Amino acid sequence: MKYLALISLFLFYAFFQYKEKQTGTSTVLNDSAAVKINIEDSSKIKTKQSAKVFSSYSIKVSLDVQKKLLKASQIVTWKNPSNIPTSELYFHFYPNAFSNKHTEFLEGKKISENSFSHISVNKVAVNHQQKILQYSTNKTDNRFDSTVAKIVLDKPVNQNDSLEIAFEYEVKIPKAYSRFGYDANEIFFFLAQWFPKLGVYENGNWTCEPYYPFTEFYADFSNYTLEITIPNGFVLASSGKVIGKKVEAENTTYKVEQKNIHDFAWLAAKDVLNFTDTIKRKDHSEVAVHYILQTTNEGSKKRIGNAVNNAFSFFEKNIGRYPYKTLTVIDAPTKAGMIRAMEYPALFTFSKDYFSPEFTKDLDEVILHEFSHQYFYGMLANNETTEAWLDEGFAEYVSQKILQKKYGQRFASFKLFGYLPVTGMELLAIEKIPFIYTLTQIPKPFEADLMAAYYPYAMFGSLNDTSFRLLNKSVYQSVSYAKGALFLFTLEKYLGEQKLFFILRQYFNAYKFQHPTAGDFFSTLRKYSHKNIEWLITGFYENSFTCDYRILGINISADHRQTEVVIVRDGEAVVPLEVDLHTDKDTLKTFWNGKEKIKRIVFHTNNKVLSAEIDPERKNLFDLNFANNSYTVETQYSGALYLSVRWFFWVQNLLMIFGGLS
């Protein structure tokens, strides 16, 4: 079975190459098409104004690198946006996720005690009246978790009434394990999810979820002003723009601000490459890109900058305008926990592996993905604890499209000894130990990795499932990243990529700086698609249906004038498909709604029938087995002979290598 799967994979690659050569077209969204979409959109979109900001944060924080400690005072001003009064305020206290080994986040994980962290609150006041902070477990029955806290108010807060909430607190900074902490050399301090942050009050309820094991976060848009004090010799990078600084004998205090963002992250580091580049738009406005790179990666400056510029230009042409005047890009140490490859408003991180040649495109792909989150999460701020696919799946889809457009064909590769990338494909392995390789460049479809991640967990969850309730991290990644992106790739194949990007642009402009849901995206999709896509929503959003269409056989009548193609639908999903009959002179085509479990399609032809094929353009990326989508009347031996020759060639070379080592 393993060998059949390998052969099927080879045929899958060959099919994509064949189709591209036959049609003479590319799946790349070219520049002219991108510009055309923008021109069309500009005349049709009625852009909503940015959602009103109902809260602001004023924070003074100092970093003690010796004690690994933050000391902070914070004032949050909040106005009730709802017509429903509230008598409680809910806050996230995310550093408490690392306060003991039994929190929601750390349960079952093994970490050292120097990776523990917590917030110590010294003072809480509402409108200058002292209050008691109560840790809440109404979202979890875990008594060891204190990542959500509430304040009970003396009287209800009505719509548009304002409150001022003041905190004084300290945060123990851990050795980097997850999103924040310091690296082993104690010269890189990254602070994310570090301060008391309001939950979201909507429809009379507070949404304030604990720090879950694998999902991310949800917060309202706010205005931030900070005074950040760090030791001299350290550089600052953050989600905001520096508007002033004061240098003293041992420390420097920076005044930083950013408006209309829903989180704030920052970094203090030394012995790094620290520089700013500028992206210039066609209207002559500029965005300052602040780079913090590891000194060992100086040779990759151009590659990193190109990836950021490619992502920026693609999004502005095809999705919408980047609204902030700054963007911070941070190269995290390779051993700095989950600090690497994470997104925050106006800031993202990545990390360059020791061996990352350009042909792998791995570094570029990470940067493209994390930049994509500036839109899907940054400005379209969906609830990531419940609908993670709206940011992860969308970011994965668009980053893959940028790879297609800007970087060209991808090729399969593997890592020798787990580190050194080699162009080619790993064919056989025993317990993941490489055994046989082909060292030729094998074209790799851009959807291949997504399909490989989706297939093992196809039945484990639907896109409609609450993200934090998915079985485990592997299922979460399969559903939120792979299945979410495949949903959009399949949409693209049925609607056309220009139409889908037109819809994405409409969606972005309608809901930016708000909290869109899947329902909001689907309403936009239904409005502009002008095609029936309910089968896709039913089968792969609402349900975790599986799908495998296969041709059972071909029956030719005695007079050779009628040919019957028998198709079987395995799985619950129903997908409309094209069915082709190939003859020695032409190809007959028909379309089938895909509903029957067994379908007999009759073609009339006097020509010699060669084969039949369903979904010849591979539009349905949720099909679990493309190998059975075609059926040949007469057995073909040439492909098997070719594979056999190559197989003996590989084995012969392997024996020669082992012979040389003996």
CA 507, 478, 141: angle at the middle one, nearest 5? 95
Global pTM?
0.87
> Is 382 part of a structural domain of the chain?
no
> Is 257 part of a structural domain of the chain?
no
Tally of structural domains, the chain: 4
The pLDDT assigned to 607 comes to 95
The CA R_g of the chain, rounded to the nearest whole Å, is: 28
To the nearest whole number, what is the mean pLDDT of the chain?
87
66 and 22 together in one domain: no
Domain with residue 218: its CATH number is 2.60.40
Q: Write the single-letter amino acid at 23.
A: T
User: Rounded to whole angstroms, how far apart are CA atoms 221 and 53?
Assistant: 6
Beta strands per DSSP E along 332-447:
343-344, 347-350, 410-411, 413-416, 420-423, 425-430, 433-438, 443-444
In DSSP terms, which residues pair with 415 in a beta bridge? 421
The pLDDT assigned to 435 comes to 66
Task: Output the CA–CA distances (angstroms, integers) from residue 319 to 241, 284, 314, 387, 503, in the order listed.
Answer: 24, 19, 8, 21, 9
> Is 388 part of a structural domain of the chain?
no
**What tokens were used for 132?**
């008691």
208 close to 199: Cβ distance less than 8 angstroms: yes
Domain termination site, one of 228, 259, 294: 228
60 and 26 together in one domain: no
**Mind listing the pLDDT tens digit for each residue in 124-146?**
999 999 999 999 877 788 999 99
331 close to 370: Cβ distance less than 8 angstroms: no
Contacts of 576 (CB under 8 A, 6+ apart): 532, 535, 591, 592, 593, 594
**What is the number of other CB atoms lying within 10 angstroms of the CB of residue 541?**
19
**What is the number of other CB atoms lying within 10 angstroms of the CB of residue 483?**
28
Domain termination site, one of 172, 201, 228: 228
Residue with tokens 């490459």: 273
Task: Output the CA–CA distances (angstroms, integers) from residue 481 to 60, 96, 392, 468, in the order listed.
Answer: 37, 27, 5, 14
Distance of CA 488 to the CA centre of its chain: 13
335 and 464 together in one domain: no
**Mind listing the pLDDT tens digit for each residue in 329-353?**
999 998 777 888 899 999 999 988 7
> Is 6 part of a structural domain of the chain?
yes
460 and 354 together in one domain: no
Range of the domain at 501: 2-44+404-527
567 close to 549: Cβ distance less than 8 angstroms: yes
Contacts of 644 (CB under 8 A, 6+ apart): none
* SS3 state at 120: strand
Burial degree of 426 (CB within 10 A; 0-12, 13-18, 19+): middle
280 and 368 together in one domain: yes
201 close to 159: Cβ distance less than 8 angstroms: no
513 and 570 together in one domain: no
> Is 262 part of a structural domain of the chain?
no
Task: Report residue 542: phi and psi, to 5°.
Answer: -75, -30
The pLDDT assigned to 434 comes to 65
Domain termination site, one of 354, 374, 394: 374
The pLDDT assigned to 179 comes to 86
* SS3 state at 392: helix
User: Rounded to whole angstroms, how far apart are CA atoms 186 and 182?
Assistant: 6
> Is 156 part of a structural domain of the chain?
yes
What sign does the CA torsion over 113, 329, 296, 354 have? positive
66 and 36 together in one domain: no
Q: Which residues of the chain have pLDDT under 70?
A: 1-51, 416-417, 419, 428-435, 635-662
User: Rounded to whole angstroms, how far apart are CA atoms 406 and 288?
Assistant: 22
What is the SS3 assignment for 191-203?
ECCCCCEECEEEC
* DSSP character string of 127-170: TTEE---EE--TT---TT--SEEEEEEEEEEPTT-EEEEEEEEE
State how beta strands 181-182 and 188-191 pair.
Answer: antiparallel
Helix (H) or strand (E) holding 511: helix 497-511
Task: Report residue 185: phi and psi, to 5°.
Answer: -85, 0
17 and 71 together in one domain: no
63 and 192 together in one domain: yes
CA 483, 487, 488: angle at the middle one, nearest 5? 125
Q: Write the single-letter amino acid at 24.
A: G
216 and 328 together in one domain: no
**What tokens were used for 487?**
């949903």
What's the length of the chain? 662
Q: Of 552, 550, 519, whose CA–CA distance to 537 is shortest?
A: 519
177 and 289 together in one domain: no
Contacts of 320 (CB under 8 A, 6+ apart): 375, 379, 505, 508, 509, 512
User: Rounded to whole angstroms, how far apart are CA atoms 509 and 520?
Assistant: 12
**What tokens were used for 195?**
């301060």
Task: Output the CA–CA distances (angstroms, integers) from residue 488 to 99, 368, 480, 547, 622, in the order listed.
Answer: 39, 17, 12, 17, 11
CA 121, 126, 131: angle at the middle one, nearest 5? 55
Domain with residue 360: its CATH number is 1.10.390.10
> Is 653 part of a structural domain of the chain?
no
181 and 279 together in one domain: no
Q: Write the single-letter amino acid at 366.
A: V
> Is 446 part of a structural domain of the chain?
yes
* DSSP character string of 271-337: SEEEEEEEEE-TTS-EEEEEEEEEGGGGGGHHHHHHHHHHHHHHHHHHT-----SEEEEEE--TTSG
**What tokens were used for 210?**
């604990």
